[in-house]
Amino acid sequence: MLLHLSTWQEVEAYLQQSQGIILPIGSTEQHGPTGLIGTDAICAEAIARGVGEATQAIVGPTINVGMALHHTAFPGTISLRPSTLILLVKDYVTCLAKAGFTKFFFINGHGGNIATLKAAFSETYAHLEDLQIPNAQRVQCQVGNWFMCGSVYKLAKELYGDQEGSHATPSEVAVTQYVYPEAIKQAPLSKEVGTGHRIYGAADFQKKYPDGRMGSNPALATPEHGQQFYELAVKELSSGYLEFLNAH
């Protein structure tokens, strides 16, 4: 069930059965010469919808823009500052908590969002307690990173070894190829790829990772691999969501 394709009466009826909601969150950022700018949002949205179907959960609107400041030297990247993303998450959760939702499961497609999401959860709990809305004490937020699922990690190792890298990875590119086969890109990739550098500002990032990849070889990606990753992530995050939903 998708929130934006539901009516308020349907949401009201859903809340009689469940107080859980899944929120996909991604990023709009460069993913190397062959990866789509929307990769992280595309993966999070597709997997979140799969989990929603498997668990009968409502899925909220995808948060397409995340915290990607270090990618902003590459054209097309859009980033929120961490402080903006905290406010956005707090506003989303506050509105939904007022309606009666208490369990917020963020399915995340971007490693750079994790620290800010956790900070946002703390800000949100404090804010809801100050507001004294009836459900405040019961509101819980959790982040499920599809790319960190044990089964996904294992398959990526088997298929790509250390060519998986950590950004513009063949596994995430494969998922976008499965979801949008019409947007598969071809481009020459140099054998040399930046790897192992710490992340500081955007100009520094571009100097150390000139084509945007971080240790990865996305030429190994195929739509068939993408389907495998998709299915593994949906399975693992579905159990993660149900466990979260049923825990006190």
25 residue type, one letter: I
From the list 35-43, 62-70, 91-99, 126-134, the region that binds Zn ion by CB under 5 A is 35-43
CB of 174 to Zn ion, least distance (A): 12
CB of 172 to Zn ion, least distance (A): 5
- Helix, strand, or coil (residue 219): helix
From the list 50-58, 167-175, 206-214, 233-241, the region that binds Zn ion by CB under 5 A is 167-175
Nearer to Zn ion, 43 or 159 (CB): 43
Nearer to Zn ion, 43 or 96 (CB): 43
CB of 122 to Zn ion, least distance (A): 25
From the list 15-23, 36-44, 98-106, 134-142, the region that binds Zn ion by CB under 5 A is 36-44
Q: What is the DSSP letter of 123?
A: H
Residue in the shown chain whose Cβ atom is closest to Zn ion: 40
CB 167 within 8 A of CB 211: no
Give CA–CA dist 145/110, Å, rounded.
Answer: 8
Nearer to Zn ion, 216 or 228 (CB): 216
Q: Which of residues 182-241 bind Zn ion (CB under 5 A)?
A: none
CB of 34 to Zn ion, least distance (A): 13
Give CA–CA dist 114/67, Å, rounded.
Answer: 9
Query: Does 45 interact with Zn ion (rule: CB under 5 A)?
Result: no
CB 18 within 8 A of CB 96: no
Q: What is the DSSP letter of 139?
A: -
Query: Does 164 interact with Zn ion (rule: CB under 5 A)?
Result: no
Query: Does 40 interact with Zn ion (rule: CB under 5 A)?
Result: yes
Give, rounded to a whole angstrom, the gap between the first and last alpha carbons of the chain.
Answer: 24
CB of 31 to Zn ion, least distance (A): 6
From the list 40-48, 73-81, 154-162, 223-231, the region that binds Zn ion by CB under 5 A is 40-48
Q: What is the DSSP letter of 108?
A: E
**Cα–Cα–Cα angle for 168, 172, 175, nearest 5°?**
145
CB of 119 to Zn ion, least distance (A): 20
Nearer to Zn ion, 20 or 165 (CB): 165
Judged by CB under 5 A, the number of residues near Zn ion is 3
163 residue type, one letter: Q
From the list 16-24, 171-179, 212-220, 229-237, the region that binds Zn ion by CB under 5 A is 171-179
13 residue type, one letter: A
Give CA–CA dist 168/218, Å, rounded.
Answer: 7
Residue 45: what are its φ and ψ, rounded to 5°? -65, -45
Give CA–CA dist 191/227, Å, rounded.
Answer: 27
The contact set with Zn ion (CB under 5 A) reads 39-40, 172
